[in-house]
Chains A and B, each alone.
Chain A
Amino acid sequence: MSQFSQNPYYKGGGGGGGFMAGDSPFGSNSGTPGSGHKRNNSPSVRPVTIKQILTATQVHSEADWVIDNAEVGTVTVVAQVISIQKQATNIVYNLDDGTGRLEARHWVDPSAMEEDEEEPVTEGVVIYMMGNIKAFSNKRYINTSQKRVSKDPHEIYFHLLNAMTTKLQLERGPPNGSGVPTVSSSTKTERGDASAYTAQATISTNNQWASLPAFHQQVLNAILSHPASELGVDVGAIAKIVGGQAAHLSATLDSLLDGGHIYTTVDESHFAVSQ
């Protein structure tokens, strides 16, 4: 018996193995060598029009859907409900946002009565919904995870503008020109002089991190400036660049991990920036 408990493979087996490949938001992309050119720079929830869903492409039936050369996970749609078909296990909403028509399927949890909805969805109203694109025998639909009646009419127009902005950002990169790559090359040369480096890093900080504390941004820039940033940078190397106390650095890294700004790569002590 002791023989089994010493084997590391059996130890984990009792827990049922919680890890599922493909479930991780990062795993599917970074884990496959060769697919590196199609890195997912898009936000994981993407606002789209129904036409974009209808024209989305898929390499094979298990692959991610691709819109404008970017993989999409969850999508959001704001559209008018044309008809509702209630079935035993799910409700089918026929949606029209002016760009096309699409079915959205909302699976009903039989144990939870959905009577607590603020406003019931009725035919003719405009709804906001979030879900995943699915296909069944050449027919596309959305598997709805969230839905609500859209009360402010501006939401219709906001959603369309949001979808347009997302498309442009995917085509051209984030606004204000200086993307991440220029940040890393300029900061790298300054590494010798700590004070000059700090100043440089603050100026060239990518605006998506603007809300983070200065030290957090410094750590992110340190990872990006490292030659091995794609594979993950060792915590020791990060400490060398940013300096400071180890406890402070490890707390910062934990907080960045929790925020989804970085992720661990080859092991727990190698970090790469999510983007």
Chain B
Amino acid sequence: MSDITSPRVNSARLADHVGRHVRLAGKVLKVAGDAAIVEASDGGNVEVKILGSQAATIKDQYVEIVGQVTEPGVVKMLNCINLGDKLDMAIVDFVVEKWHSPQFSSMF
């Protein structure tokens, strides 16, 4: 339990969080075997590594992947929250950027 926070990120911000836990919301483009491709809120594609048994937890078109960043662009999934088939990614990306703004450092 080094850190119990999991900041919300987009694909560009993964590089700042290597080794840490993050929450990545995006659109599932492909699920194949032990990997999935998710389009993050900023439009970039992220590879999500999944353990075989976890693949079934990805059900909806939009999901929030809770996972650990292994390298920029790659997240190892720990948990998946299904966010339905309709999600405004512009709002998500706005929140992600505000999350990392120093203006709100006391809340995120």
Contact = CB atoms under 8 A, between A and B. Distances in A.
- The interface size bin for chain B is 20 to 34
A154 interface: yes
A104 interface: no
Contacts of B81: 80, 124-126
Given A98-B7, A98-B8, A98-B23, A164 B104 contact: yes
B78 to A, nearest CB: 11
Contacts of B87: 153-154
Given A124-B79, A153-B62, A163 B107 contact: yes
B6 A98 contact: yes
Given A49-B107, A51-B106, 16 more contacts: A51-B108, A80-B66, A98-B8, A98-B108, A99-B107, A99-B108, A124-B81, A153-B83, A153-B84, A154-B87, A154-B88, A154-B91, A161-B95, A164-B104, A164-B107, A167-B107
Interface of A: 48-49, 51-52, 55, 68, 80, 96, 98-101, 124-126, 152-154, 157, 160-161, 163-164, 167
23 contacts: A49-B107, A51-B107, A51-B108, A52-B106, A52-B107, A68-B106, A98-B6, A98-B108, A99-B108, A100-B4, A101-B4, A125-B81, A152-B84, A153-B64, A157-B95, A160-B99, A161-B91, A161-B94, A161-B95, A163-B107, A164-B98, A164-B107, A167-B104
